[in-house]
Every structure is written in C-alpha cells, then in structure tokens.
Structure 1
Amino acid sequence: MNHIDLSIIIPLLNEADSLPELQEWIDRVMKSRSLSYEVIYIDDGSTDSSWEIISSLSRKRDTTNSPNPIKGIKFQANYGKSQALHAGFNQADGNVVITMDADLQDSPDEIPELYAMIAEQNYDLVSGWKKKRYDSVISKNLPSKLFNWAARKTSGVQLNDFNCGLKAYNSQVIKNIDVHGEMHRYIPVLAKNAGFTKITQKEVIHQARKYGTTKFGYERFINGFLDLITIAFISKYGKRPMHLFGSLGVIMFLIGFTTAGYVGGSKLYRMYNDIPYRLVTDNPWFYIALTTMILGTLFFIAGFLGELILRNGNQKDRYNISERI
C-alpha cells in the first residue's frame, strides 16, 4: 500500500452538477502542495448521474497514472450522512482525513491549513466554523445556533458549529469511533469520549449554494436534539448501563418496599391495639408501593440486559454497498 498523506472524504446525494467543478478545485489547491492525497466520494443513493460522473473522474485519473487516486463507494439506497462517513472512514488510508460536503459550500481552499493543524500542530480534530453563513436566518441560522448551544452545554465540547461538514482528523480518531444513525453531528463528542481531547475549531469560508437544493429539512433539528439526548446518555452510561438503570431500580424498589412495609405495619399496629382499620387493598399507598417495586425491578432488569447486549453484541455495517471504484 502506497503511503498517503491526506484522505478527502466527500459524502453526497444528487450533486452531479457540482462534482466536476469540486474535483477541479481540489486538484488545483493540492497542486501547490507536495502531498500525496486521495479523494473518496460516497454516493448515498443518488438518483441523478452523480455515480457516472464519479466513475468518469476515477477512470480519467487512472489513465494519467496519477499517484493521487479518486475512489468511489456507491450505496444501494439512501442510508444517510453518518453511514456514508462510516464507509469513507473505513476506506481512508491517509494519515490525515478531511471531510467536506459536495455542494461547493465548503471551500477546498481551507484544506492546506486544516491539514497543517493536524499534521504539524498535532490536533486530534479540527472542526470548521461557518461564522458568516449564507443560509436563511429563520429556517437554518437560528435553529442552528440553538442546537449548537445545547450541544455545547450537554457535551462539554466547546465548538460553535457542530453541523459543519468541513472537519479534519488524525487518522487514529476515525479508526476508533463508530459513526451511525445521525451521529455525524457529534463526531467531536464521540472523539472526546474515545480519549481524543485535542479538539479545536477553525473559522472557515461558507459559500452560497451554486447548484441544486439543500438535502436537509426541519426534521434534522428534531433528530439532532433526539440524538443529543442519546449521545449524552451514551457518553456517561454507554459502557456501564447497569450504573444508571440498576441504581434507579434499586432506589425505586427500596422506596416501594419501605412504603409497603409502612402500610402493612400500620395495619398490624391497628389490629394489635383494636383500632379500626381498613383492608390493605383499600389503601391507595399499597398500589403505589407495588407499582414502584415493579418498576424498580424492571429498571434493574433493563440494566442487566444492557450489560449482556453490550458484551455480546456484534457490530454490523448499517448499509449495503452496490459498487466500488
């Protein structure tokens, strides 16, 4: 395997118009750098001619015997950006890995400085920050600001733009994290949880979309906040679910057991002292205690099952690849 300094991973969906211009731009930027690089396109189920263009670019590169290959992965269907990045990370051979979008809103001119921050300044991860955006203020900017604020408060990772697709990584980072679902927004959090703490951000240029339309709607913010809850749980209890569910279960069972003991003891006291009393089943606290003990037992079982799944679960790719080049 030839040594490669830099892998550029580009997930895409229906970006046929942008691809030739993007590749030309990348090559122009990299021409002035004495670096070996590869470009990996992941076609996430495009219905336009994106895959044909990727194949054409790859064949053209092969005929010139260039040391900087263009690779492609075509998904059988649209599985999402996280799955596309997962496949790209598995394919990447570079010491430094850069991810960017294919819509020309991420500028390849940022690549040399991002590479230097990883290779020379020894950061684990550098996230782009699109401080000045060309998106709609109401539909994207304001929800994005709220989302990023919540992500910072929840994760402790101080980034201003978790959603920015332009990021740079030490290769060790991408080989030691599992990106799935919609977790591409939280790759910096996943990296931090994996022990890669040298994380920073760089202000990058954001350009107006030149071709096509955005592939993300309002649902991405809803999904993003749900994923934020998931990542917060996984960050703290993902490797020890019994610590959360077991603790809740024990606490609830003890509360229920103590309440039931009080109800039963109160009845025995009244019986012994000939004080009028009612049946235990007529006391609402009996049912509260019983329900609490059952819930406590279920929480404990959930924690136990979580531990078993964690130790015996098999990892499987969550996408099907139809072609590679």
Structure 2
Amino acid sequence: MTNSALQISVVIPLFNEDESLPELSEWIVRVMNDHDFSYEILFIDDGSRDNSWNVISGLSLENPYIRGFRFVRNYGKTAALQTGFQAARGEVIITMDADMQDSPDEIPELYKMIREDQFDLVSGWKKKRYDPVTKTIPTKIFNSATRSISGVALHDFNCGLKAYRKEVVKNITIYGEMHRYIPVIAKWNGFARIGEKVVQHRPRKYGYTKFGLERFIFGFLDLLSIAFVNKFGRRPMHLFGSLGTLMFFLGSVIAFWLLGKKIYNIYNLQPYRNVTENPLFFLALVAIMVGSQLFLAGFLGELLVKQSVSKTGDYNVSDQVGG
C-alpha cells in the first residue's frame, strides 16, 4: 500500500485508555478489511500514566498500518489532534475517541459523505446520549451558544467522531481547547461544505470519563477568541480604531461643551465654576486618553499584521494553473 493510495487515516487521541485499545483497534481493522479500505490508524498518547503506550507499541508491531505518537506530558485533546492531523497521510481523516463510545461502523458512511457527497467536513451528532444530566445539560447550552456565535448549524460540536477532507486538516491550526470548534475554524477558512450525520453513542465500557465543567468555561473563552481573531485578526484597526475614534470624539465633545459653557457664562457675567470641578471633565479626559490608546493599539496591530502577512503569505489557495 502506497501513500498515494491511502484512503483513510483514523486519528485517535487518548489519555489512560489502555483497556479499550486492543478491542477498538481490532474493530477498526475489521471494518477496514470488510470494505476493502486502505488505511492507517494513528494513536496519539496524550501523556498517559497507565499502560497505554505499551499497548500501542504492541499493536504497532502486530499491524504495520498502526502508528503511535507519545507526548512527554498531558497537553490536551487539541494538541493530540493537531499532531495527528500533521502526520495523517490519508485522503479522508476520521477522528474518534478511544473510549469506545464512538462506533467504527460509522466510518464507511462518513467516508462516503466526504468522497461522494463532496462535503469538506462531516460532524457526528449523538442524538441519543448515555451521559449523565450533569454533562448533557451543559452540552446543550454550549452547543446552542456556539451555533449562535459561529453561524455553523451543527447540533453536537463536542462529538469526537468527525470526518475531514485532507485539505481541511492540512490548512487549519488548532490550539488551546479549540478541537470542539474545528467546524467553525474550517468554515472561516473557506471550507463551508459542512455536513452532519446522526451517529450511535455507546455506553462507556472501560475506564472513566475525563469530562470536567471547566472544559466548557475554557472552551467558551476559546470560542470568543477565535471569533475575534477571525473577524479582526487581519484588520485590528477596524475594531480598536473605531472604538478609539468614538471615545476620543465623545470625550472631545464633552470637553468643548464644558469650555463653551464657561466662556458663555463669563461673557454674560454669570456665575460659573471651574471646568475641573465638573465630574464630566474627568469623564471627558478619560475618554480622550482611552480613545487615543485604543487607536494606537489598532495602528500597532495593523503594522504587526502587515509584517506577518508579508513574511508568510498564509492564505489558502484552492487551485493554480500555469507555470
């Protein structure tokens, strides 16, 4: 099997899942052989403290199409996926969790949706879940907020079972807790053909969940971050410059109004108090100072963006013809 003929790369991030790995790999291999797929399986050991790496090493010796990557410590699921994306050689990349709650039997249909239905990305939707209420309710709130902010109409951003065209994963970069926002990042990078498939959610058979409510907090902050970077990353002056100009203008109007009022009272021999005795003076002063700083921040941001683009030119080009 040559790299050019490789149809599917299955990327599996894991942390302390040694019990499930033999059964999971056997199941995936069976599905691949039944459908005559050329494949590779990439296990990304995210700093496990159990016997996971020894299991992966043994599986790799038994099957040349199984590869393993081991982190020196726990970096998180996003880092594991990014490493798998960089190493994957298949035309279609399938991601799934290692806890066997994702069914490998979904792989053929996901592959078909990418290759035949021409989707850039297909996300699984675990319509019926076997998770406790403490996980399902926050998940629903999270998914609703993500749909509203991103404009990507998916029901289940957290589902680990997804399929991608190779071009998608090779042209995006994820970090932090951004693995759940890959569909959002893909869309904002021009890969807008996003599909969804109802998939089976199986009860956990081995180990215990690594879920924590803090993941939703950090994940929501990451969503705000990528929303800001997508909209203003290339044009920071549009945000900071606009806010700075508005605040500077309002501060100036208040200051001139106070000054004009004082001059009017002096001219008409009316009593007046010093401008600095009016609280509005300090409000105007703060607005002018903050406005100037915001405008300067936008200006410096534009310089940094221009320098970065001139060095990297990192725009996604879909096609090219000629010399």
Relative to the length of structure 1, the TM-score reads 0.91
Question: Helix, strand or coil for the counterpart of 1:147?
Answer: helix
Q: Within the alignment, does 1:78 sit opposite 2:74 as a pair?
A: yes
The one-letter amino acid paired with 1:47 is: R
The aligned counterpart of 1:283 is 278
Q: Within the alignment, does 1:297 sit opposite 2:299 as a pair?
A: no
The aligned counterpart of 2:210 is 215
The aligned counterpart of 1:144 is 139
Q: CA deviation at 1:228?
A: 2.3
Q: Deviations over 1:234-277 (max 9, x none)?
A: 23222222111111111111111111111112112222222211
CA distance in 1, matches of 2:85, 2:299: 33
The aligned counterpart of 1:39 is 41
Q: Within the alignment, does 1:133 sit opposite 2:133 as a pair?
A: no
Q: Which moved more, 1:267-276 or 1:99-108?
A: 267-276
The one-letter amino acid paired with 2:3 is: N
- Unpaired stretches in structure 2, ≥5 consecutive residues: 313-323
The one-letter amino acid paired with 1:60 is: E
Q: Deviations over 1:59-109 (max 9, x none)?
A: 1223xxxxxx11111111111111111111110111100100000000000
Q: CA deviation at 1:232?
A: 2.4
The aligned counterpart of 1:122 is 118
The one-letter amino acid paired with 1:235 is: N
Q: CA deviation at 1:292?
A: 0.6
Question: Helix, strand or coil for the counterpart of 2:102?
Answer: coil
2:182 to 160, 184, 187: 187
Q: CA deviation at 1:197?
A: 0.8
Residues 3 and 90 in structure 2, CA contact (< 8 A), matched pair in contact too:
no
1:175 to 170, 176, 185: 170
- Unpaired stretches in structure 1, ≥5 consecutive residues: 63-68, 316-325
Q: CA deviation at 1:311?
A: 4.2
Question: Helix, strand or coil for the counterpart of 2:63?
Answer: helix
Question: Helix, strand or coil for the counterpart of 2:131?
Answer: coil
Q: Which moved more, 1:202-211 or 1:277-286?
A: 277-286
The aligned counterpart of 1:23 is 25
2:103 to 100, 107, 111: 107
The one-letter amino acid paired with 2:78 is: S
1:199 to 173, 178, 194: 194
CA distance in 1, matches of 2:165, 2:236: 30
The one-letter amino acid paired with 1:44 is: D
Q: Within the alignment, does 1:93 sit opposite 2:94 as a pair?
A: no
Question: Helix, strand or coil for the counterpart of 1:143?
Answer: helix
The one-letter amino acid paired with 2:11 is: I
CA distance in 1, matches of 2:102, 2:59: 20
Which gives a bigger RCO, structure 1 or 2 (Cα 8 Å, sep 6+)?
1
Sequence identity (%): 59
Relative to the length of structure 2, the TM-score reads 0.92
Q: CA deviation at 1:295?
A: 1.2
Residues 128 and 201 in structure 2, CA contact (< 8 A), matched pair in contact too:
yes
CA distance in 1, matches of 2:70, 2:285: 55
